[in-house]
Amino acid sequence: MGRWLKKISDGSAVAVGAVTVLMMLHVTAEVLLRVVFAMHIPGTMEVVTYYYMVAAVFIGIFSCTTDDVHVRVDVVAQFLSGRLRRLVDGIGVVAIAVYFAIFSYGLYLQAVRSWKRQETVDAIVVELSIWPSRWLAVIGIFLAMLASLYWLYQFVVPRLDKTEDKL
Q: Are the C-beta atoms of 155 and 10 separated by less than 8 Å?
A: no
Domain boundary assignment for the chain: 2-156
- Give the span between the Cα atoms of 156 and 167, in whole angstroms: 15
pLDDT at 57: 94
In the predicted model, what is the mean pLDDT of residues 13-39?
A: 95
Range with the poorest average pLDDT among 1-15, 17-31, 106-120, 125-139: 1-15
pTM value? 0.84
In the structure, what pLDDT confidence band is assigned to residue 164 with cuts at 50, 70 and 90? low
Please give the mean pLDDT across all residues of the chain. Answer: 89
Largest CA distance in the chain: 65
In the structure, what pLDDT confidence band is assigned to residue 11 with cuts at 50, 70 and 90? very high
pLDDT at 165: 52
% of the chain with per-residue pLDDT over 90: 63
